[in-house]
């Protein structure tokens, strides 16, 4: 018999009751160090005092009023995102997939408006993930996400991640844009080479394509810059943000240059909840912290410390770990045997991580972790790897 809760997830049998910083507390009182952060969502840790205060204040003033009226929190958040990124204008949604949908609609409308309605196809990369709506599963083109959901939304062509020649060869008169994650998350933590990102910009300019980055997982400070592409010293035309943007409150954003954003005028796109006052209070509070002097430098420093320690771990446990990759606090540990086994074992030992494709275990800790959290995580990782190596022997 089907349970009342639709069984769309294979859930671990743990229920959390309370969170504090990098820790979660289960109903049975057990404490876990959270290096999954709700899949890169709880960027400032659980119940960060500044976010709690901002959200409580907003909850006592105004929850929702609709986009029929001005929402000062939206204006402020948009101004701050514009000030700190390549973008000239921002649309607010409730999720990552909706932010990607906004960008995809913007692309079609841009070419329709500029006299090329036949240009609508978007080139995406193998291993990419862009959400679970009909259009975004078509963009991701993962067999397991598409099976049973035919017909697949038209307009996406897939090429290998990191291969500019293959991408150039896939461009036709109908190509409108390129959509990629600068660091693939669900696909197994694959960072694009910075040279490749710069190459994408050149190709896009050469063929008049819009360049669309999905930074829903790798953005919002996770790599030590506000957005990961900044490491490459270039910029896209459109960018989708989500996950960490609200620090745990559902919010997505589609950032765009004036040229791209001009396509969406009054009536052409919308959302009931998108950018409501509660979401804007949360996201503005996240930005207060992330944009504060020195915050991103501290993320970079703690990430370098974690990487150094993880390199030794991988070296010491070749029977369990096959490698290490990623960027900043977005780390993938390649597993020798089933990644689910390591995730479950780490959880039993008090450390929460997230599995990804390619048999990878993802470490996505809150950006506020300190050396002591790295020490604690490493102790659990060392112990768990040793135990699993013993078991395999």
Ligand X SMILES: *Cc1c(COP(=O)(O)O)cnc(C)c1O
Applying CB under 6 A, which residues contact ligand X?
A: 95-97, 100, 129-131, 181, 185-186, 214, 216-217, 242-243
Cβ count within 10 A of residue 121: 21
Q: Which is nearer to ligand X, 153 or 386 (CB)?
A: 153
Q: Which is nearer to ligand X, 36 or 185 (CB)?
A: 185
What's the closest the beta carbon of residue 372 comes to ligand X, in angstroms? 28
CB-based burial, 218-229: b 16+ in 10 Å, e otherwise:
bbbbbbbbbbbb
Cβ-closest residue to ligand X? 96
Q: Which is nearer to ligand X, 95 or 175 (CB)?
A: 95
What's the closest the beta carbon of residue 161 comes to ligand X, in angstroms? 13
What's the closest the beta carbon of residue 219 comes to ligand X, in angstroms? 9
The CA-to-CA distance between both ends of the chain, in Å, stands at: 41
Q: Which is nearer to ligand X, 19 or 96 (CB)?
A: 96
Q: Which is nearer to ligand X, 104 or 388 (CB)?
A: 104
What's the closest the beta carbon of residue 181 comes to ligand X, in angstroms? 5
Is-contact 42 52, C-beta < 8 A? Answer: no
What's the closest the beta carbon of residue 129 comes to ligand X, in angstroms? 5
Q: Which is nearer to ligand X, 228 or 388 (CB)?
A: 228
What's the closest the beta carbon of residue 97 comes to ligand X, in angstroms? 3
């Amino acid at each position: 018999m089907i349970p009342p809760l639709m069984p769309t997830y294979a859930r671990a049998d743990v229920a959390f009751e309370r969170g504090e910083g990098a820790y979660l507390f289960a109903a049975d009182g057990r404490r876990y160090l959270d290096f999954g952060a709700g899949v890169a969502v709880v960027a400032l840790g659980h119940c960060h005092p500044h976010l709690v205060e901002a959200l409580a204040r907003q909850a006592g003033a105004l929850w929702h009023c609709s986009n029929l009226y001005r929402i000062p929190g939206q204006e402020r958040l948009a101004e701050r995102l514009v000030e700190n990124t390549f973008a000239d204008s921002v649309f607010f949604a409730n999720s990552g997939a909706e932010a990607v949908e906004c960008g995809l609609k913007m692309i079609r409308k841009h070419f329709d408006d500029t006299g090329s309605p036949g240009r609508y196809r978007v080139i995406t990369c193998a291993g990419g993930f862009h959400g679970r709506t009909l259009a975004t599963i078509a963009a991701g083109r993962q067999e397991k996400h598409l099976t049973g959901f035919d017909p697949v939304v038209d307009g996406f062509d897939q090429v290998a991640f990191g291969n500019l020649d293959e991408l150039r060869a896939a461009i036709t008169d109908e190509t409108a844009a390129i959509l990629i994650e600068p660091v693939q998350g669900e696909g197994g933590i694959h960072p694009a080479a910075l040279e490749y990102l710069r190459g994408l910009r050149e190709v896009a300019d050469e063929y008049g394509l819009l360049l669309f980055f999905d930074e829903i997982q790798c953005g919002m400070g996770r790599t030590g810059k506000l957005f990961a592409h900044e490491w490459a010293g270039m910029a896209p035309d459109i960018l989708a943000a989500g996950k960490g943007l609200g620090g745990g409150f559902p919010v997505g954003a589609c950032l765009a240059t004036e040229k791209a954003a001009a396509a969406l005028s009054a009536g052409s796109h919308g959302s009931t909840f998108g950018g409501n006052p509660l979401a804007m209070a949360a996201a503005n509070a996240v930005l207060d912290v992330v944009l504060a002097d020195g915050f991103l430098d501290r993320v970079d420093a703690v990430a370098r410390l974690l990487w150094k320690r993880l390199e030794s771990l991988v070296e010491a446990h070749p029977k369990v770990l096959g490698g290490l990759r990623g960027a900043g606090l977005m780390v993938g540990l390649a597993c020798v045997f089933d990644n689910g086994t390591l995730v479950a074992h780490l959880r039993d030992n008090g450390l929460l991580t997230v599995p990804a494709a390619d048999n990878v275990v993802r470490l996505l800790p809150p950006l506020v972790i300190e050396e002591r959290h790295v020490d604690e995580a490493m102790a659990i990782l060392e112990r768990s790897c040793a135990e699993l190596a013993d078991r395999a022997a």
